[in-house]
Amino acid sequence: AQSVTQLGSHVSVSEGALVLLRCNYSSSVPPYLFWYVQYPNQGLQLLLKYTTGATLVKGINGFEAEFKKSETSFHLTKPSAHMSDAAEYFCAVTYTGKLIFGQGTTLQVKP
Amino acid sequence: GAGVSQSPRYKVAKRGQDVALRCDPISGHVSLFWYQQALGQGPEFLTYFQNEAQLDKSGLPSDRFFAERPEGSVSTLKIQRTQQEDSAVYLCASSSRQGSTDTQYFGPGTRLTVL
């Protein structure tokens, strides 16, 4: 069965610091992996996705993620945090077309 | 262009009432999904349509939940005899094709509070 684990329900960084949000997956088939961001009272917005090909995926707003099959990981990074990055982040894997989400990580950015 | 829209944005219901939540997907999108997001949790799959056909309803928590998409466009999620545990944000998403790699575009959600 497919599942996603996000390590750390809350991450706090200073503005300008590296952002690292962790995601590990379990999948019985080659996975398709996604990162979504959710701002308060809004729906989810796609940051990036991995399907096939290059394992380093670049997304919007300067985010990127690397698919590591040997570690079953798909961690999200951004070199320099902005105040506007404060939000809830969800990692997800697809299974028969539907998305299986992790519990989410709240990113706090301190001035 | 217009994204996925949902109405109402907020709904308060008394326990035992029936509610209907509407989703307008992006025009021309074949696939439509409903998810339930409890407070502090990730969204959980409820049901999936390809055009008007409901292909997967494995996530519906009970027979009080019913979804339809009669003309392959607008969808309605109906909850009968609401219970407090139904309080959540209900998210609708659509994608242009059927496939695991397709991006799902989400609406803003309907926040349901059952008193």
pLDDT in single tens digits along all 115 residues of chain B = 589 999 999 999 999 999 999 999 999 999 999 999 999 899 999 999 999 999 999 999 999 999 999 999 999 999 999 999 999 999 999 999 877 778 999 999 999 999 9
**DSSP run (H or E) holding A66:** strand A64-68
- CA B93 – CA A103 distance, rounded (Å): 18
Would you put residue A62 in left (φ > 0), alpha (ψ -120 to 50) or beta? left
Question: Which of chain A's residues have a Cβ under 8 Å away from the Cβ of B44?
Answer: 101
Residue of B nearest to A29 (CA): B100
Nearest to A43 among B42, B100, B109 (CB): B109
pLDDT for the residue B1: 55
Nearest CA-CA distance, residue B101 and chain A, Å: 6
pLDDT, one tens digit per residue, over A21-71 is 999 999 877 789 999 999 987 889 999 999 888 889 999 999 999 999 999
Phi and psi at residue B84, in whole multiples of 5°? -60, -35
pLDDT for the residue A79: 97
For A62, the 3-state DSSP assignment is: helix
Residue of B nearest to A48 (CA): B103
